[in-house]
């Protein structure tokens, strides 16, 4: 299995945006250049583990949040994505998203017999 650096870069950018930080602010906090942050976010450069730790600390998240989606059978794969999505919504949008998700979940469960991986959790 290879590490999906595009996904990591996307996560860095999403979380940075959610925190209201510019690339320049993040770069300053971790003592790196703005172009380097851009290269990480576009996956043109593969961030080292130590760099990911610095970024995670600066963003106030765990390294797991940045790596989310890289592991198979990751139960929390979309958790951070959902949190970012919800945090960017007003109360009305949150309610609609909740209602749509609830109906979708019920439909999936009601029709699980049609799913080829029935019984998978």
* pLDDT (tens digit per residue) in 109-120: 888 777 665 555
The overall pTM is greater than 0.85: no
Structure token digits, residue 75: 């139960």
DSSP-assigned letter for residue 74: -
Which pLDDT tens digit goes with each residue over 66-86? 887 666 666 666 776 788 788
The predicted-structure confidence for 8-37, as pLDDT tens digits, reads as follows 998 899 899 989 999 999 999 999 999 999
Q: What is the DSSP string of 70-116?
A: SSTT-TTTTHHHHHHHHHTS-HHHHHHHHHHHHHHHHHHHHTGGGST
The structure tokens listed for 102 are: 């609830």
């Amino acid at each position: 299995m290879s590490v999906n650096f595009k996904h990591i870069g996307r996560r860095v950018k999403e979380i940075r945006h959610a925190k209201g930080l510019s690339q320049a602010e993040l770069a300053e906090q971790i003592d790196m250049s703005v172009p380097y942050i851009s290269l990480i976010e576009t996956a043109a450069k593969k961030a080292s583990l130590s760099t990911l730790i610095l970024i995670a600390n600066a963003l106030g998240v765990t390294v797991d949040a940045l790596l989310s989606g890289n592991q198979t059978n990751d139960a929390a794969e979309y958790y951070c994505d959902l949190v970012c999505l919800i945090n960017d919504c007003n109360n009305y949008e949150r309610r609609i998203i909740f209602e749509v998700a609830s109906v979708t979940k019920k439909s999936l469960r009601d029709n699980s017999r049609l799913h080829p991986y029935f019984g998978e959790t």
